[in-house]
Structure 1
């Protein structure tokens, strides 16, 4: 994907700043979105565990059937090198070992990452909770009722209140459930990108930086195997640039704002400037 011209220009004006890539999409009608968050096609407490088909690596995650089945796998079926499982069947303890997610992948699945404290050291286990027909059907239904692509449509059109309303509804639903696991994953992903931009627009820069940090910290640290934090940060900066362009902020003024804001976002996301710049240049194309 090629970085938008508005972002390339702002980053050039910012000098030592960061980079951006495409933002994403927006909103379904409130009633449909609420229904998507509340109604499930099946109860994942009742499904049988299913493990076949994956090795537990990032490239071949363990296919499971919902969050509870994922926790049960990590707590009961996973074996450390040399044998044994430190959770001894405690699914709640296993759920606390989830350190973030990779994704969404090509199928729109968020691949969860667990750090299991094995005797010889922590082992990363990658689990796909959408790895069964029931969860695939649930994911498809979520997309139909709360299409995350619509978030970008509203954002690009400057309908920021609609984006904000949808994202607040998702956050409230996640708080009510005590988890975001059952929310439409792509919508949550995109809200995490758009929220900092909306807070910046409201003049709440400090809150925007905190929100960016919270989103970034939900993904694994930057490593040769995982660049999702960098990609998310690029999306956030791009969303801010797109918003300023839509608001007709002069390019030089936008560059100065970005020069002041970007170091704060980099620190919040624990991403170094060089890594960010390289990723931006790769996203910008030739």
Structure 2
């Protein structure tokens, strides 16, 4: 089977000079120009037909005068227009001109191949655009941009403009930020100082309670010495007495006197 019969004309004529005698450069250029002009004419006619049809065409619905079309919708329309012009540029006529022998032998297969190619091309382009929109979060970004533009239209005061002096412009932009950070740090410092004061008061209260317990212990010890004249308690007796005093005050919990 001769595979050259199914090769494009450009591939079979690769060995010949394009502009030389016997070459097909001039004819190929004429075919390309005629195909491009036909595709452009079909694209213009299709666009004019869609404009006349109105809502039935693929163009976005025209809103009231002065209404702004969302940028997400503009992006979708741009992709659709690009695909239409891409298909129009690679028309079926140009496809059959490249594969004449295949078209002459099996025109139905050529048509199916072309339809499959166009469908796969459109699907691939739409999938790539969808991935780009998802990765960049374009829908949310474009919607926020529309909102910013709409809010800017409602403003009556003039927008901020640089003064032309870099130091003043930088100062006007950075000073509010630094003031905000300073206020936040001051609030944190005040909260920390309040917590420190509460902790200091708790420590002082604990120290006062300990001193009061010591004073009560000494008073009870002196009262015990007075009640038992002539008896001087030793170190172990003093420790036992102190433990009993602390236990009576609820500070020390001892069940066995030997633990002291």
TM-score, with structure 1 as normaliser? 0.18
**Greater fraction helix:** 2
Which is higher, the Rg of structure 1 or of structure 2?
Answer: 2
**Greater fraction strand:** 1
TM-score, with structure 2 as normaliser? 0.20
